[in-house]
Amino acid sequence: MSSLFLLFLLHITIATAAQLRPDHYLPTCPNAESIVRNVMKKALIREPRSVASVMRLQFNDCFVNGCDASVLLDDTPTVPGEKQALASINSLRSFEVIDEIKEALEKVCPGRVSCADIVIMAARDAVALTGGPDWKVRLGRLDSLSPWLEESNEIMPSPRSNASYLIDLFKKFNLSVEDLVALSGTHSIGQARCFSIMFRLYNQSGTGRPDPAIEPKYREKLNKLCPTNVDQNVTGDLDATPRVFDNQYFKDLVAGRGFLNSDQTLHTFTQTRSFVKLFSKDQSVFFKAVVNGMLKLGDLQSNQRGEIRRNCRVVNKR
Ligand code: HEM
């Protein structure tokens, strides 16, 4: 483990339930949750994929110095933001949905609801609105005063990752093997770029061959979607039902039809395979596990000073 990573982990604490509370905004902005949900409903109608894109922000936010909305900061002339990070650039999207939520909240209760909490509420709503479970989230986070670009580059996993790397990575965040598999199941909605799978289609691990774990018919389909000369921003579905939050993702993995290497590897490795199989057979077990995983992911907190931003893209003026 690099020294930067170690240093970074010192800045993260696992929040206790006492610090974050479901009713945090009851006295200051009692309608916060319904305001967030209404904007998410509109976003879903306008562009179905956008809710998946918003949900992904929780992962990229919380793994990098805890859930502090650092992922939302735009570049400034002097400080590049996390949007430039390897795992974000040309990929993270739908920041405008967060802007719309923030504007709606600022109208009703200005300066009260943090952008970090907006990400957590909106991610939960993305799951609930697409057919997945609904749950109470813990709130009361503050927004970071700076982005963490270097840390993001260091930490966020590549789509090439294998299960043993991912198990070790998630363990550092107090997330178990079951949490890893359940949280990967959020790829039940949304899309990814050809860019993220070119190596596994044409040169897996430098072999000059495709990943043998891909089922042949599915590989034909992916080869058509992403030929060697493709514009690598072309996107494909992360599972067979990309607008519905269900356990189809796991059924696809069992059939060798996972889109990303980091998805299919969960079925290839024995330590993760038992959870893949379990979730593929029993959607309600998956739903319970993903709620638990999202709550634990949301409990990763920064111990740095923070604020409630007026605009999620910039820190407040001093
Ligand atoms: C286990 C490690 C993970 C890896 C390696 C990973 C990697 C990726 C990659 C490479 C993409 C597509 C990027 C692109 O091609 O533009 C993606 C999309 C996505 N990820 Fe993950 N991810 C992981 C875990 C998670 C977690 C924990 C969540 C949710 C909390 C999540 C939610 C999503 C969603 C919803 C999308 C689709 C977004 C869209 O359609 O815009 N991922 N992920």
Looking at ligand 1, which residue's alpha carbon is closest to its atom 27? 183
Looking at ligand 1, which residue's alpha carbon is closest to its atom 41? 53
- For residue 118, give both structure tokens: 């907006």
Domain segments of the chain: what residues? Answer: 8-157+298-302, 163-295
Looking at the DSSP bridge assignments, the partners of residue 232 are none
Question: Is the CB of 53 inside a 6 Å radius of any atom of ligand 1?
Answer: yes
Question: Which residues contact residue 97 at a Cβ distance below 8 angstroms, ignoring those fewer than 6 apart?
Answer: 39, 40, 43, 50, 51, 53, 54, 122
pLDDT at 19: 82
Cα within 13 Å of Cα(303), Cβ side: 10
Q: Which atom of ligand 1 is nearest to the CA of 197?
A: 15
Question: How far does the centroid of ligand 1 lie from the alpha carbon of residue 107, in Å?
Answer: 32
pLDDT at 8: 55
Cβ burial, residue 42 (10 Å; 0-12/13-18/19+): middle
CATH topology of domain 8-157+298-302: Peroxidase; domain 1 (1.10.520)
pLDDT along the chain (318 residues), means of 10: 52 58 97 98 98 98 97 97 97 98 98 98 98 98 97 97 98 98 98 98 96 98 98 98 98 98 98 98 98 98 94 96
Looking at ligand 1, which residue's alpha carbon is closest to its atom 20? 56
pLDDT at 136: 98
pLDDT at 302: 87
- For residue 314, the one-letter residue type is V
CATH topology of domain 163-295: Peroxidase; domain 2 (1.10.420)
Question: Is the CB of 60 inside a 6 Å radius of any atom of ligand 1?
Answer: no
- Cα–Cα dist 83/152, whole Å: 9
pLDDT at 109: 97
Structural contact between residues 162 and 271, judged by C-beta atoms closer than 8 angstroms:
no
Question: Is the CB of 124 inside a 6 Å radius of any atom of ligand 1?
Answer: no
Region of 242 (left: φ > 0; alpha: ψ -120 to 50; beta: rest) is alpha
179 annotated binding-site participant: no
Question: How far does the centroid of ligand 1 lie from the alpha carbon of residue 56, in Å?
Answer: 6
Question: Is the CB of 155 inside a 6 Å radius of any atom of ligand 1?
Answer: no
70 annotated binding-site participant: yes
Question: How far does the centroid of ligand 1 lie from the alpha carbon of residue 187, in Å?
Answer: 6
Looking at ligand 1, which residue's alpha carbon is closest to its atom 31? 56
pLDDT at 318: 85
Q: Supply the Cα-derived Rg of the chain in whole angstroms.
A: 19
Residue 214's alpha-carbon distances to 109, 184, 206, 224, in angstroms, are 50, 18, 16, 14
Structural contact between residues 137 and 53, judged by C-beta atoms closer than 8 angstroms:
no
- Cα–Cα dist 271/127, whole Å: 26
- For residue 2, give both structure tokens: 């690099």
- For residue 78, the one-letter residue type is T
290 annotated binding-site participant: no
Structural contact between residues 68 and 142, judged by C-beta atoms closer than 8 angstroms:
yes
First to last CA, the chain: 37
